[in-house]
Amino acid sequence: MAFRSSRRWQFRQPSVIPGFGLALGVTLTWLTLIVLIPLSGLIWRSSGLGWSKFFALASDERTVNALTISFGTAFVAAVINLVFGVVLAWVLVRYRFPGKRVIDAMVDLPFALPTAVAGIALTALYAPNGWIGSLLAPLGIKIAFTPAGIVVALVFVGLPFVVRTVQPIMEEIDKEVEEAAATLGASRYQTISRVLLPGLLPAGLTGFALAFARGVGEYGSVIFIAGNLPYVSEIAPLLIIIRLEEFNYPAATAIAAVMLLLSFIMLLVINTIQSWSRRRYGYGA
C-alpha cells in the first residue's frame, strides 16, 4: 500500500535485489486492471455530465446530508477504533494470559463475517427490544435506527484494521526503551505519552485511515441498523442505490465520484501526516 513507503524515490538507483523491473511491471498492470480501470470508468461517466450539472447533483441538499452522515459516522467510528484498537493491541502484545490466542483470533472475525449478517445481528442486539437496546431504552437512549447505530456497525467492521496495523510495530518496541525511560526518571504517564505513543503514531494513523475508508464505503451492515431516514440516517451508499432504483445513473455516478474524491483527499492528508510522523518518531525507519 502506498502509505507504507517511507523511502525516497528510488527508481533510478541500482538495487541489489533483482527483479525490480518485472515486479514493478506486474504491480502496475495489476493495479491498472483491478483499481485504475474501474475507477476511471466512474470518473469518465461523471465527466460526461459537465461541470454545472455535476455540481448541481453533488451539491443537492440530500446528497450533502448523506455524505456528511457517511463521512461523519465513519470518522467517529475510526476514532473509537483507534483508541480501543491500540488498547487491544497493547494487551495482546504485552501480556500473557489464558485464552490469549482465542482473543487474538476473535479480532479478525469482523473480516470474515458477511457485513449483512453483522448488521442483522447488531440490529437484533441494539433494537429497543434487543438485549442491549432494552437496557438502554428506559434511559431514553436509542442506538438502532439512529446515526449512533451506524457508528456501532462501523466500529464493528473497522475493528481489526487498527489492531492489526499497530500490533507488529508494538512488538518491535523493546521493553528496554521503557526501562531506559524509567531509569531517566520518567513517570508511567510520561513513558506512555512521550516514548511509546509517538512511536505508534504512524501505524495508528494507517489503521485509522483503513478503518475510516472502510466505514465510508460500508453498506451491508449499515442499512439494517440505520433506519435509513432521509436527512437523518441515510448514508451516501444507500442514496447511490436509491438513485439507481430511479434509473438516475448520472446522479448515482456523481455521488460516487464525490465520495471517491473526498476519500482520496482524506487518505492523502492522513498519509502525509503519517509519513511526517514516521520521519519524526518512527521506529525502524
Partner 1 sequence: MGSNRLTGMMKLALVVGGLQLGSLGLAQADTTILNVSYDPTRELYKDVNAAFAEKWKADTGETVTIQTSHGGSGKQARSVIDGLEADVVTLALEADIDAIAKESGKIPVDWKTRFANNSSPYTSTIVFLVRKGNPKGIKDWGDLVKEDIQVITPNPKTSGGARWNFLAAWAWARAANGGDDAKAQEYVAQLFKHVPVLDTGARGSTTTFVQRGLGDVLLAWENEAYLSLEELGPDNFEIITPSISIRAEPPVALVDGNVDNKGTRKVAEAYLNYLYSDVGQKLAAKHYYRPFKPELADPKDTARFADVKLVTIDEFGGWKEAQPKFFADGGVFDQIYKPGQ
Among 69, 127, 200, 257, which residue sits at the site for partner 1 (rule: CB under 8 A)? Answer: 127
As measured in angstroms, the least distance from the Cβ of 254 to partner 1 is: 12
Could you say which residues in the range 136-155 bind partner 1, by CB under 8 A? 144-145
**Rule CB under 8 A: is residue 227 a binding residue for partner 1?**
yes
Provide the b/e sequence for 102-134 (b: ≥16 CB within 10 Å): eeeeebeebeeeebeebbebbbbbbbeebebbe
**Rule CB under 8 A: is residue 235 a binding residue for partner 1?**
no
- Which segment (45-53, 115-123, 152-160, 166-174) binds partner 1 by CB under 8 A? 115-123
- Which segment (76-84, 108-116, 181-189, 197-205) binds partner 1 by CB under 8 A? 108-116
**Rule CB under 8 A: is residue 116 a binding residue for partner 1?**
yes
Among 190, 246, 279, 285, which residue sits at the site for partner 1 (rule: CB under 8 A)? Answer: 246
Which grid cell is 103? 482473543
Q: Kindly list the distances between the CA atom of residue 130 and the CA atoms of 31, 143, 144, 181, 255, in Å, as whole numbers in the listed order.
A: 44, 11, 10, 48, 34
Query: Which CB atom, from 221 or from 271, has the smaller least distance to partner 1?
Result: 221
Among 231, 269, 272, 279, which residue sits at the site for partner 1 (rule: CB under 8 A)? Answer: 231
Query: What does the alpha-carbon distance between residue 244 and residue 253 come to, in Å, rounded to a whole number?
Result: 9
Please choose, from the candidates 226, 216, 225, the residue with its C-alpha nearest in 3D space to the C-alpha of residue 121.
225
Please choose, from the candidates 77, 92, 60, the residue with its C-alpha nearest in 3D space to the C-alpha of residue 147.
77
Query: What does the alpha-carbon distance between residue 150 and residue 233 come to, in Å, rounded to a whole number?
Result: 8
Could you say which residues in the range 48-67 bind partner 1, by CB under 8 A? 61-62
Which positions lie near partner 1, rule CB under 8 A? 61-62, 114-116, 123-124, 127-130, 144-145, 219-220, 223-224, 227-231, 238, 241-248, 251
